[in-house]
Amino acid sequence: MDKHYLTPLFAPQSIVVFGGQQDGDLGSTSLGDILRQALQAQRYAGTVQYVDVHTSGTLADLAQAHADLALIALPPQDVAAALEVAGRMACRSALVISSGIDADHATELKRIAKREGMHLLGPNSLGFQRPQAQLNASAAGPLAKAGSLALVSQSGALTSSMLDWASQNGVGFSAVVSLGANTSVDIAQVLDYLANDAQTQSIVVYLEGIGSARRFMSALRAAASAKPVVVLKAGRKPAGNEAAHTHSGATVGSDEVFDAALRRAGAVRVRSFVELFSAAKCLASRYRPVGKRLAIVTNGGGPGVLAADWVNELSLELGKLSAASVAALKPTLTSAASLTDLIDLSEDASPEHFRAAIAAAGNDVQIDGVLAIYSPKPGADASAVASVLAALRPAFGKPLLACWMGDSSVGAARSVLSEAAIPNFRTPEAAVGAFGNIATFCQNQRLLQQTPPPLSALSKPDIEGARLIIDSVLAERRRVLTEMESKTLLSAFHIPVTQTLLARSAHEAMMIATQLGFPVALKIDSADVSHKSDVQGVALNIMTGASARDTYNDMVERITRLMPTAQINGVTVQKMAHAQRGREVSIGVVTDDPFGPVIVFGAGGVMIELINDRAMELPPLNQFLARHLIERSRVAETLAEWRGATAVDMGALEQVLLRVSEMVCALPQLREMDINPIIVDESGAVAVDARIVVDNLLQIANGVAHSHLAILPYPTRYEQLWPLRGGVSCVVRAIHPDDAQMLQRLVQQLSPESRFFRFASNAHELSPSMLARFTLIDYDREMALVAVVKEHSATASGEIVETERIVGVSRYITNPDQSSCEFALLVADDFKGKGLGSRLMESIMDVARDKGLADIEGLVLAKNSDMLDLMKNLGFSSKRYAEDPDFNLVSHVL
């Protein structure tokens, strides 16, 4: 149970091969013979057996053999029979290397594999490579060089191309996995395996599409929390999207939404496969979180300016030395050096000048990273300057990148940089792009840490009232809400709206306008009119009752003529929302396939399509994510003090976004929403118009809470207060990333025996990767409940301070069969005997039961008698674990 379920596939001890015989023709181009040659080209330590399904004996004979992995490289018509035989041989996994197997045939192969309990990679896969194990189970070319980088690709052709490029550029791999169309083991499962693979330090992915957004986001977030993940996705434009869908057979959503998903998952997206590897190389160094300020140290003005231009192009910032740093550095440089923007050391720069400038930039708090650019000069020693960087690198706390321009004259210098693990590039643009990837990674890691609840801390919305509105619309077989209904729905979630009344006649319009006070605005009220302005269905600044009456008649007559089939309910009348210097913004919701609902923010008004200002974020949101969403829009720069106008109330705007997030989480029927414009100024924000589209398909299809979201919200429903023996009480809730330090203290304060019983290790504390893995969890496939107590202590000055302490943790993670789970339990030594352990276990079992799981199991050291007694009292059965007699396997039917 301590091994990943895909270990028999990607780290097999024994292999059986169907296709390609030991005495096959070396010149053969059949997939079977190509696979045989690939396997035999190096010495694989495991056992390999070749089987011919037509001549290798009876099924009874074959059933006597066993293997971890079956490799099948046969014509499509023979694959199913080979898979059946592999099942009889008790193979735990299978790889089908083939091409041209359609979706129906692939479904049949998946059915066979599922029935036989095998994990199936393929069909239409080129296979995989594990260089450190000397295993080449692929038709993708020679075995790659060993390294710490894992490659996962949904294109066989690109897999082969990237391996060829990598072999010429000294790039090594821990694993290479090719995923074809209709594969059973999908990219989410491969990412999950690589996240736990000790040989892998960073992961690069070529992606064309995904199946389940929830499973993909779950696996990607888990992987990115453990190690850097860099993604190259095809289909950035509509034509590419269509081609990607045709090629991979997977779902390809909006490219903007995919970008938003990668940001929330903590991964980095690149645009070319050369950039893919350079980004992975830079990120593997795992620099501490950095900002966007890149200092450029150069001995040539031209290359430095090119780099500065690219800094601006990528929305980074040029890092500049502080006045104190300039004053200290300037006397050590030549008179021609300039420190105003670039750190231009001039053509006469020596290695010592580079050393002083880079050290100064490294120590300056206004700088987040340093790029050293060297242009070859007659008589200068490029290798000596490179050696300066190599000497500075071990103690350098920030990203240090290099760009040695030229070719033959700087080859030796580049070798010095490479040996010192300093990322080096041939062009300034590539080097700046690499730093941009580092900054993006650090920023996205902060987004990954966010675990918002479905409801914010604001006043509780009227969810039941909102559902009644939607139900009434759907009962009338409508999907589009009227403006009145849309604003009522917004009001149910406490989003400020302009007072709006519906006039069903010209006389009513005149009376309502007079009562509200002028000026007023009139708008056509019809679910069939999507864009009112396009048909002159909006009239602003109406100043008299007579004008309101005439405008009503003109508007209804005109729209009846232009859209004779439109059902017109009347005309809405609302007081003009006048703000002296208010800004118009828009907030919306779109539904993407496969990622589901996405929140959109940008500029508002009638020019919204032309400006095309759309920043996107996956729900749920918290205040940090809401602010980040606003900052990514182009309209954001107008929200501060701008052209004489005071800054807007950002808190009010963030609250509207939080309310929209609540709507998305609580109302799965919500398919589209466009609140445009929202007028925001220093006194607040108000929604002037809104259009909402609903659908009952999701409500019917999904009975599970929040199943329509790609990212599950923080489960606040599990929070409860428990009294314990001895008069102590604790709060039990789901774990979140901010608990990392409290969890570490819990482990550090355990007795050696307790630590060994829980982790089967003598380690004094959790490693950073384990800590991230235990606290940043995916609430869809796992759960961890923590018991937290409040403690009071006195400071040196006598002040009493209150702190929180985790005193117990219970958790489960769903097994690959999706019907059972594995649990773990830990209680602080000084809280044992208070009934905490049994209550934590009962609670985690309730959560698993609520999730629909049927069984819960776990491994307990045979010497841990207290834990075994607890399990017995809870009704668990216990038996020796067959794979390791030092453990007992305890299990319970939920």
pLDDT digits (tens, 9 = 90+) for 561-603: 999 999 999 999 999 876 667 899 999 999 998 899 999 999 9
Separation of alpha carbons 244 and 231, rounded Å: 15
Strands 293-298 and 317-318: parallel
> Does the pLDDT at position 58 exceed 80?
no
> Does the pLDDT at position 846 exceed 60?
yes
Total count of residues recorded for the chain: 894
Determine the average pLDDT of the residues in 226-252: 60
Q: How many CB atoms lie within 10 A of CB 645?
A: 17
The predicted structure's pLDDT at residue 699: 44
> Does the pLDDT at position 239 exceed 80?
no
Please answer whether residues 539 and 555 qualify as being in contact, where contact means their C-beta atoms are separated by less than 8 angstroms.
yes
Strands 400-404 and 369-374: parallel
The predicted structure's pLDDT at residue 26: 46
| pLDDT tens digits, one per residue of 710-764 | 998 999 999 999 988 878 889 999 999 989 999 999 999 999 999 999 988 888 9
Query: By percentage, how much of the chain surpasses pLDDT 70?
Result: 93
Q: Which of 735, 662, 178 is nearest to 454 (CA)?
A: 662
| pLDDT tens digits, one per residue of 599-631 | 999 999 876 766 788 999 999 999 999 999 999
Q: How confident is the model at residue 845 (pLDDT cuts 50, 70, 90)?
A: very high
Determine the average pLDDT of the residues in 6-15: 94
Separation of alpha carbons 677 and 672, rounded Å: 16
Please answer whether residues 811 and 844 qualify as being in contact, where contact means their C-beta atoms are separated by less than 8 angstroms.
yes
Please answer whether residues 652 and 680 qualify as being in contact, where contact means their C-beta atoms are separated by less than 8 angstroms.
yes
Mean pLDDT of the chain: 89
Q: 219 burial class (0-12, 13-18, 19+ CB within 10 angstroms)? A: buried
Separation of alpha carbons 416 and 386, rounded Å: 6
The predicted structure's pLDDT at residue 232: 92
Phi, psi torsion values for 646, nearest 5 degrees: -75, 160
How far CA 134 is from CA of 516, 583, 820, in Å, comes to: 80, 63, 35
| pLDDT tens digits, one per residue of 142-174 | 999 999 999 999 988 888 888 888 888 778 999
Separation of alpha carbons 391 and 648, rounded Å: 49
DSSP bridge partners of 502: 572
Q: Which of 353, 356, 365, 366 is nearest to 320 (CA)?
A: 366
The predicted structure's pLDDT at residue 351: 95
Burial 768-800 (b: 16+ CB within 10 A, else e): eebbbbbbbbbbbbbbbbbbbbeeeeeeeeeee
Separation of alpha carbons 21 and 32, rounded Å: 8
At 578, which amino acid appears?
A: H
Determine the average pLDDT of the residues in 69-86: 90
The predicted structure's pLDDT at residue 242: 44
Q: Which of 384, 391, 385 is nearest to 420 (CA)?
A: 391
Determine the average pLDDT of the residues in 35-49: 90
> Does the pLDDT at position 246 exceed 60?
no
Q: Which of 103, 24, 36 is nearest to 73 (CA)?
A: 36
User: What dihedral angle (degrees, nearest 10) is formed by the CA atoms of 279, 141, 134, 68?
Assistant: 100
Using DSSP, state whether 626 is helix, strand or coil: helix
Run of H or E residues at 254: none
> Does the pLDDT at position 505 exceed 60?
yes
| pLDDT tens digits, one per residue of 760-793 | 888 899 988 788 889 988 898 899 999 999 988 8
Tokens of 517: 């006070």
Q: Which of 56, 778, 172, 774 is nearest to 448 (CA)?
A: 778
Lowest mean pLDDT among 360-369, 576-585, 674-683: 576-585
Rg (the chain; Cα; Å): 32
